[in-house]
């Protein structure tokens, strides 16, 4: 447990340092569009110059951001001029609802497709081809295609991406389970497949399904940014994209830290499920 907690802390530290370094050394970081606005007086421009000078040191930037977190201050958005938490709090519910609906639909599609495809002796190309195609299509490309044909939405795109990955695993696991000797013997004696599925097949796969659920969360989080940006969903992914474009370090740092914590927690859940299965 201590080792996993240490790895989680290490990942979060790397995310914070890496995000700050990327923003700090990004081209044009020291430029500010407000300096070209005639409405700003000389005194205000001087304040902008002082702000830029203060942010020239990576150590100072890290110290200010982390120090604010320790004091319970999430910082102020450089782009919007409001506390970061006020921007993130309403978007957490939007992204959370999108993830829950997308993962639920993906599991329904993947489980139904794998149950039909694994029942036969030989894998059917009819079921394998769509999954292989979806695995090769990037999230942004699939979302753009939905917009071009004016059909589908962020939940469907997220579900299709996840279902393609989950289907490959579920199909192999179920196909192997149906070929177990005791299952074959029960089917030969006339036991109904639905009873076997409920009493033997699915209970045996529960530990693997738990690990797959954790991996589904990680995959969904990785696709969150392109899906929300293309469909203009006001969630954390869209906020992170705007913060990266506008070099809004306080917002970007807070969002990436939240996503890093979610990914590491999902990974810990996957490892715990695998350990329980081995035990």
Phi-psi region of 24 (alpha: psi -120 to 50; beta: other; left: phi over 0): alpha
Q: Give pLDDT, residue 99.
A: 92
Q: Give pLDDT, residue 7.
A: 73
Sign of the torsion formed by the C-alpha atoms of 206, 210, 212 and 216: positive
Question: Which of the two residues, 108 and 79, has the higher pLDDT score?
Answer: 108
Q: How many CA atoms lie less than 13 Å away from 136 in the CB half-sphere?
A: 6
Q: Give pLDDT, residue 263.
A: 80
Taking residues 117-131, report their average pLDDT.
67
Do residues 194 and 186 make contact, with C-beta atoms less than 8 angstroms apart?
no
Question: In whole angstroms, what is the distance from residue 230 CA to residue 146 CA?
Answer: 10
Q: Give pLDDT, residue 229.
A: 92
The H-or-E segment that residue 171 falls in is: helix 154-178
pLDDT band at 98 (very low <50, low <70, confident <90, very high): very high
Sign of the torsion formed by the C-alpha atoms of 154, 156, 157 and 159: positive
In Å, how far from its chain's centre is CA 96?
10
Question: Which of the two residues, 51 and 180, has the higher pLDDT score?
Answer: 180
Question: In whole angstroms, what is the distance from residue 59 CA to residue 21 CA?
Answer: 10
Question: In whole angstroms, what is the distance from residue 154 CA to residue 226 CA?
Answer: 10
Taking residues 86-91, report their average pLDDT.
90
Question: Which of the two residues, 35 and 96, has the higher pLDDT score?
Answer: 96
Distances (CA, A) of 205 to 118, 172, 229: 14, 11, 36
2 token code pair: 């201590």
Q: Give pLDDT, residue 48.
A: 56
* CA angle, residues 129, 132, 134, in degrees to nearest 5: 110
Question: Which of the two residues, 125 and 99, has the higher pLDDT score?
Answer: 99
Question: In whole angstroms, what is the distance from residue 23 CA to residue 64 CA?
Answer: 15
pLDDT band at 103 (very low <50, low <70, confident <90, very high): very high
- Supply the angle between the helices 236-245 and 202-230 in degrees, to the nearest 10: 40
The length of the chain in residues reads 279
Q: What are the sequence ranges of the domains in the chain?
A: 84-278
* CA angle, residues 73, 20, 13, in degrees to nearest 5: 75
Report pLDDT digits (tens) over 25-58.
766 665 555 555 555 555 555 665 666 555 556 6
* Burial profile 136-167: b = 16 or more Cβ within 10 angstroms, e = fewer: eeebeebbeebeeeeebebbbbbbbbbbbbbb
pLDDT band at 205 (very low <50, low <70, confident <90, very high): confident
pLDDT band at 91 (very low <50, low <70, confident <90, very high): very high
Phi-psi region of 215 (alpha: psi -120 to 50; beta: other; left: phi over 0): alpha
Give, in words, the CATH class of 84-278: mainly alpha
In Å, how far from its chain's centre is CA 207?
22
pLDDT band at 128 (very low <50, low <70, confident <90, very high): confident
**pLDDT-wise least confident of 71-80, 164-173, 223-232:** 71-80
Taking residues 218-246, report their average pLDDT.
89
Q: How many CA atoms lie less than 13 Å away from 6 in the CB half-sphere?
A: 3
pLDDT band at 257 (very low <50, low <70, confident <90, very high): confident
Is pLDDT at 269 greater than 80 in this prediction? no
The pTM for the full model equals 0.76
Taking residues 103-112, report their average pLDDT.
89
Work out the mean pLDDT of the chain and round it to a whole number: 78
């Amino acid at each position: 447990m201590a080792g996993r907690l240490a790895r989680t802390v290490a990942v979060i530290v790397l995310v914070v340092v890496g995000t700050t370094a990327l923003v700090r050394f990004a081209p044009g970081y020291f430029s500010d569009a407000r300096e070209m606005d005639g409405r700003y007086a000389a005194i205000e421009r001087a304040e902008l110059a002082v702000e830029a000078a203060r942010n020239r040191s990576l150590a100072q930037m890290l110290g200010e951001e982390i120090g604010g977190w320790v004091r319970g201050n999430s910082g102020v958005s450089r782009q919007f001029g409001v506390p970061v938490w006020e921007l993130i709090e309403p978007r957490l519910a939007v992204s959370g609802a999108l993830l829950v609906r997308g993962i639920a639909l993906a599991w329904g599609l993947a489980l139904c497709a794998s149950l039909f495809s694994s029942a036969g002796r030989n894998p059917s190309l009819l079921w394998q081809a769509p999954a292989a195609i979806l695995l090769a299509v990037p999230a942004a490309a699939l979302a753009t295609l939905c917009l071009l044909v004016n059909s589908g939405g962020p939940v469907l795109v997220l579900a299709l991406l996840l279902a393609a990955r989950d289907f490959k695993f579920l199909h192999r696991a179920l196909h192997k389970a149906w070929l177990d000797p005791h299952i074959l013997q029960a089917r030969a004696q006339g036991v109904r497949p639905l009873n076997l599925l409920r009493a033997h097949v699915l209970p045996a796969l529960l530990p693997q399904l738990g690990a797959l659920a954790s991996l589904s969360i990680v995959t969904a989080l990785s696709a969150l940014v392109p899906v929300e940006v293309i469909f203009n969903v006001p969630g954390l992914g869209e906020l992170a994209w705007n913060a990266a474009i506008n070099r809004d370090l306080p917002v970007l740092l807070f969002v990436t830290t939240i996503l890093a914590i979610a990914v590491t927690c999902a990974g810990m859940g996957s490892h715990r499920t695998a350990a329980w299965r081995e035990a």
